[in-house]
Amino acid sequence: MSLANQISSLECSTTPPVALHASKTLDPGVLLGDSTEAISPSSKIQLERGVSRTARLYALRQLMLRAAVPQEMVNSWKVEVSDDATVVALDNARIRFWHAPATFWCDLVDGRYEVVRADWPCPPTKQYSYLVPNFVVPFVDRAYVGPLFVRTSGDTWECPIDLLASMLLTLSRFEELQSNERDLHGRFLAAQSLALKHNFLQRPIVDEYGLALQQVIQSLLPGWRPLERKLRVNLSHDIDETGFPRSISNSLGHTLKRRQPVATLRDLVGPAFGLRPSLLQAVLRITELSKRHGMASALYWKNSPKSDWDSGYDLSIKPVHEVVCRLKNEGMELGVHPSYYTFTDPHRLGDEVEHICEVLGERRVGGRQHFLRWHPRTWHDWEKCGLAYDSTVGFSDHIGYRAGTCVPYRPWSLELNREINLLEIPLLAMDVTLAYYMRLAPEESVALLLQCAERCKIVGGVFTLLWHNRSLLDPNYGHAYQTVLSELKFSPAFVWKQALNSGQC
Ligand SMILES: [Zn+2]
């Protein structure tokens, strides 16, 4: 059966598989503070019989996308999945992906696996050799591998490790399902991740496998050239605060914390002159900056009651709604930023999303969870709400590639053993992470962000940055943001509607 047919039957499939089982064991994990009751227990995945055939086909399609192989070309190739290997037949040639032995899966769920560094199949060009000196492959059954692909005969290449399973586990956030460790806000942190522990959080490891596969395909089909892909930049802004309800302490903070007395003055005397609060004005400024640099912005709005973790502004009050309408008329993307307590509460999430969409006058939107409170099961909740995309999958405490990728993708649920009808646009960096968690100086932040964008560029990915309107009021970080925009100016945007309609994801 061709890969296209197999994938389309996979997408229609709603039958839960037998290969994956979510245990019902409840475990509160490491939690502190008042937010504990809202945090979901973890649910460990058992992989007694390995990953399913449909899951392997999903991973194979993700790999082909990252190798920039045209869809019609992939569709013409035959794929056979046996117990031992997945074999792709292209004309008279073969690419064989060996599967891990049956004994490996119990070791994997018990945490006994290796993270290997594999070599290039052929010497890389200078363009790649510095940023991609090798390939990092987690969740494998051996400590040494050699090249990621090996030519075993004139028309056959083989991947000696279970690369497809490794990709699947990385993209679906397997380790986050297995771990009970969470911070005060119920978040899995970079500090707990395999990527930080093994020093590969700064690498889009899954996307880099596509570069190795390109070498293999070019060797088998000498006339073939991968599709050209460019860096896309995705500027996003979670509007946590608008300056409403008005607060003296918040206004004074502009001077005391951010050395912006003009902003404080604006807040204090502005109401008499019909001026917007500084935080709301900063929303307009942040979009002005995007336009000035030939870029687009996505703004994610809240509409929730005040809580210890939510400012509690009303999206429908006149000054806020005027800004929303103005941005909409200017063609800016508007999306949702569900509040703190929507995490693990799909009903609350659904109510908020419905209300925000009503005020925004939008039917199909994407967005991001407040505080980056996210668990692989959050994908299920977002799918149920009919949201088009999520952009939460980035760590709060460290910038980098949480899911090993900067290429937007439809996630795979290990619990449901199917693809989720939702696009994930991975978040790579957030202002708060740089300034608060990593405690970097503005100039260090700029250097790290541009390095991250460079890595996106070589794999043709999307550099997704979160910058809050509040950060624009800080002179140092506001300036750092403008420096980053100047370096990336006129980079094309990632247009998610186009990507979904064209089947690129
Ligand atoms: Zn937020």
255 burial via Cβ count (<10 Å: 0-12, 13-18, 19+): middle
Amino acid code (one letter) for 295: M
- Note whether 429 and 200 are within 8 A (CB): no
Query: How far apart are the CA of 159 and the centre of ligand 1, in A?
Result: 42
Query: How far apart are the CA of 324 and the centre of ligand 1, in A?
Result: 17
Query: How far apart are the CA of 238 and the centre of ligand 1, in A?
Result: 5
Query: How far apart are the CA of 369 and the centre of ligand 1, in A?
Result: 7
Residue 373 DSSP label = -
Query: How far apart are the CA of 366 and the centre of ligand 1, in A?
Result: 14
Query: How far apart are the CA of 461 and the centre of ligand 1, in A?
Result: 24
Altogether, the residues listed in the chain come to a count of 505
Query: Tens place of pLDDT for every residue, the chain, 505 residues?
Result: 444 444 333 333 322 222 233 333 323 333 333 333 344 445 678 787 899 999 999 999 999 999 999 999 999 999 999 999 999 999 889 999 999 999 999 999 999 999 999 999 999 998 899 999 999 999 999 999 999 999 999 899 999 999 999 999 999 999 999 999 999 999 999 999 999 999 999 999 999 999 999 999 999 999 999 998 899 999 999 999 999 887 777 877 777 777 777 777 777 777 776 778 999 999 999 999 999 999 999 999 999 999 999 999 999 999 999 999 999 999 999 999 999 999 999 999 999 999 999 999 999 999 999 999 999 999 999 999 999 999 999 999 999 999 999 999 999 999 999 999 999 999 999 999 999 999 999 999 999 999 999 999 999 999 999 999 999 999 889 999 999 999 999 999 999 999 988 877 7
Query: How far apart are the CA of 487 and the centre of ligand 1, in A?
Result: 26
Residues in a beta bridge with 116? 137
Query: How far apart are the CA of 241 and the centre of ligand 1, in A?
Result: 9
User: Taking the C-alpha atoms of 369, 374, 377 and 378 in order, what is their torsion angle to the nearest 10 degrees?
Assistant: 0
Query: How far apart are the CA of 373 and the centre of ligand 1, in A?
Result: 9
Kindly report the pTM of this predicted structure: 0.90
The position carrying tokens 């550099």 is 463
Query: How far apart are the CA of 445 and the centre of ligand 1, in A?
Result: 20
From CA 252, how far away is CA 148, in angstroms rounded? 57
Query: How far apart are the CA of 240 and the centre of ligand 1, in A?
Result: 5
